């Protein structure tokens, strides 16, 4: 493997770890801490909210530091910092302690998206496909959080689910530093950060840029509600809706003598992993379509898929519910690379990390706000009402995306 491919692989592994770390607690809360600590699912979600706020708010300073100092240097800080934070979180003995650990994890997790995506969109061509491949790795991290944590709950305890990825992240951080050491230099980053003189922007082009930017940030907010509600709550949704299917799967694994013991928690984790993993492949299709057809048509298509399957989900259980979950996760994951693609095409290079930082401040702040929404709706009406709310969000996305121009304005 040459140096360029290894660099891309390490960046993709960072996206995998970023989403894995932020969602380990989702499965822990759903499957074990409600019993071990005697708190309701909604009460536990409150302790995860500050971490997701940090996930959003620290994106902007992370992007600023990357542009001013070193994007590769910030990636090393990300790998080592989030690994240490996860290991420390594994020692939590109270809800307040685990909330503090999740807060620190969120601070380091905020680094990846503005910095990693700025590197991906600035270094390689075929932007749509590169972002899509990177996005698949992130979604596999989402999927593996449920799978790994579900397995450790049944085979050793939830704390190990924080420790093992933490150690792996630290090791990758040292590998990244060794690979990119020549790029982590003040002279190089200072020259890169100095912006060239900008040409005057015509009023018509400025109006188009403002219009597209408003659409990007509006759809970022809406899609963040959908993404958080599906990825964070899916283990709990499956715990409620797939109990019969999970019990049958666990019994089948015992009958056939699989080498890994499977209990209901593991089966729920497997279902979530399979749904997330298969649905994440939608990003590869979306990435290819973005390079061919542009964002407007693709965006309208994935939003329509979300609308259909969220509308079908209420009242479903077991196999039919699993099939519907595949449908709405295809739409939720397929939407992820579209806004990043538009920013990559329109943002100038010296400021790209900072613009991605602003985008992810919006995205992850809404992610944090979605947690109280999930808890409130689940406690009072259950997940059927949440699905209807998400169907409304998908309809709002269609209305906003219809305002996109056929072609994007190029970067200045």
Each residue's pLDDT tens digit, 360-404: 778 777 867 787 888 889 888 999 999 999 999 999 999 999 988
Q: Could you tell me how far CA 309 lies from the centroid of its own chain?
A: 20
Domain count, the chain: 1
Joined tokens for residue 160:
């190990």
Residues contacting 100, CB < 8 A, separation 6+ = 92
**258 lies in which domain range?**
3-186+205-401
What is the pLDDT, as a whole number, of residue 186? 52
What is the pLDDT, as a whole number, of residue 108? 96
Determine the Cα–Cα distance for residues 160 and 251; give it in Å rounded to an integer: 25
DSSP three-state, residue 405: coil
What is the pLDDT, as a whole number, of residue 193? 47
pLDDT of 190 higher than 50? no
Determine the Cα–Cα distance for residues 396 and 218; give it in Å rounded to an integer: 10
Residue 369, in any domain of the structure? yes
What is the pLDDT, as a whole number, of residue 188? 46
> Rounded to 10 degrees, what is the CA torsion of 54, 60, 62, 68?
-160
CA nearest neighbour of 105 among 88, 117, 92, 122: 88
pLDDT of 176 higher than 80? yes
Structure confidence at residue 197 as a pLDDT band (50, 70, 90): low
Mean pLDDT, to the nearest integer, of 220-242? 86
Structure confidence at residue 14 as a pLDDT band (50, 70, 90): very high
Residues 15-59 pLDDT 10s: 999 999 988 888 888 778 888 888 887 788 888 888 888 887 888
Highest mean pLDDT, choosing among 17-26, 58-67, 342-351 = 17-26
Residue 265, in any domain of the structure? yes
CATH code of the domain covering residue 141: 1.20.1250.20
What is the pLDDT, as a whole number, of residue 189? 45
Q: Are 344 and 352 in contact (CB under 8 A)?
A: yes
Residue 199, in any domain of the structure? no
Mean pLDDT, to the nearest integer, of 313-321? 91
In 160-260 the beta strands, taken as DSSP E runs, fall at none
Classify residue 316 by its DSSP letter. Answer: -
Classify residue 349 by its DSSP letter. Answer: G
Determine the Cα–Cα distance for residues 335 and 275; give it in Å rounded to an integer: 16
Determine the Cα–Cα distance for residues 86 and 160; give it in Å rounded to an integer: 10
CA nearest neighbour of 140 among 327, 282, 30, 344: 282
How many alpha carbons lie under 13 Å from residue 193 in its C-beta half-sphere? 17
Structure confidence at residue 350 as a pLDDT band (50, 70, 90): low
Residues 89-129 pLDDT 10s: 999 989 999 999 999 999 999 999 889 888 887 776 666 77
What is the pLDDT, as a whole number, of residue 410? 60
Q: Which residue has the higher pLDDT, 16 or 69?
A: 16
Mean pLDDT, to the nearest integer, of 191-220? 71
What is the pLDDT, as a whole number, of residue 130? 81
Residue 218, in any domain of the structure? yes
In 250-292 the beta strands, taken as DSSP E runs, fall at none
What is the pLDDT, as a whole number, of residue 354? 74
| Average pLDDT, rounded, for the chain | 83
Residue 411, in any domain of the structure? no
Structure confidence at residue 262 as a pLDDT band (50, 70, 90): low
Determine the Cα–Cα distance for residues 344 and 353; give it in Å rounded to an integer: 10
Residue 195, in any domain of the structure? no
pLDDT of 259 higher than 60? no
Mean pLDDT, to the nearest integer, of 327-334? 91
Joined tokens for residue 198:
């900008």
Mean pLDDT, to the nearest integer, of 235-261? 75
Residues 266-314 pLDDT 10s: 777 788 888 888 888 888 888 888 878 888 899 999 999 999 999 999 9
pTM of the model: 0.70
pLDDT of 62 higher than 80? yes
Residue 410, in any domain of the structure? no
What is the pLDDT, as a whole number, of residue 294? 83
Residue 409, in any domain of the structure? no
Joined tokens for residue 370:
């979605």
Residues 129-168 pLDDT 10s: 788 888 888 878 877 887 788 777 777 788 888 998 999 9
> Rounded to 10 degrees, what is the CA torsion of 331, 334, 335, 339?
180
CA nearest neighbour of 116 among 147, 75, 83, 61: 75
């Amino acid at each position: 493997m040459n140096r360029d491919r290894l660099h891309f692989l390490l960046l993709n592994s960072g996206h995998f770890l970023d989403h894995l770390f932020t969602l380990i607690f989702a499965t822990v809360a759903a499957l074990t801490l409600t019993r071990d600590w005697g708190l309701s699912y909604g009460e536990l979600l409150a302790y995860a909210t500050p971490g997701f706020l940090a996930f959003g708010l620290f994106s902007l300073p992370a992007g600023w530091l990357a542009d001013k100092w070193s994007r590769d240097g910030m990636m090393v800080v990300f790998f080592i910092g989030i690994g240490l934070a996860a290991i420390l979180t594994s020692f939590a003995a109270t809800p307040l302690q685990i909330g503090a650990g999740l807060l620190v994890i969120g601070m380091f997790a905020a680094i990846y998206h503005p910095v990693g995506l700025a590197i991906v969109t600035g270094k390689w061509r075929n932007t749509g496909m590169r972002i899509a491949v990177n996005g698949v790795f992130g979604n596999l991290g989402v999927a593996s959080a449920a799978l790994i944590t579900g397995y450790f709950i049944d085979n050793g305890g939830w704390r190990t689910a924080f420790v093992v990825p933490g150690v792996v992240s630290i090791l990758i951080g040292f590998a990244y530093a060794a690979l990119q050491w020549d790029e982590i230099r003040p002279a190089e980053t200072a020259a890169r950060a100095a912006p060239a003189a900008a040409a005057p922007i015509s009023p018509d082009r400025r109006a188009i840029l403002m219009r597209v930017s408003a659409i990007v940030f509006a759809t970022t907010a809406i899609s963040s509600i959908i993404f958080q509600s599906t990825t964070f709550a899916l283990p709990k949704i499956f715990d409620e809706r797939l109990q019969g299917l999970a019990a049958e799967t666990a019994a089948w694994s015992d009958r056939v003598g699989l080498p890994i013991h499977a209990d209901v928690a593991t089966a729920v984790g497997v279902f979530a992993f399979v749904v997330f993993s298969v649905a994440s492949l939608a990003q590869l299709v979306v990435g290819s379509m973005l390079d061919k057809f542009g964002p407007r048509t693709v965006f309208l298509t994935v939003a329509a898929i979300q609308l259909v399957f969220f509308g079908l989900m209420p009242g479903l259980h077991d196999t039919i519910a699993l099939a519907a979950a595949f449908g709405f996760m295809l739409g939720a994951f397929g939407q992820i690379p579209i806004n990043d693609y538009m920013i990559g095409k329109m943002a100038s290079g010296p400021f790209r990390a900072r613009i991605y930082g602003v985008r992810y401040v919006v995205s992850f702040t809404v992610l944090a706000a979605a947690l109280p929404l999930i808890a409130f709706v689940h406690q009072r009406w259950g997940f059927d009402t949440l699905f209807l709310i998400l169907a409304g969000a998908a309809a709002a996305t269609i209305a906003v995306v219809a305002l996109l121009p056929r072609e994007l304005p190029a970067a200045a």
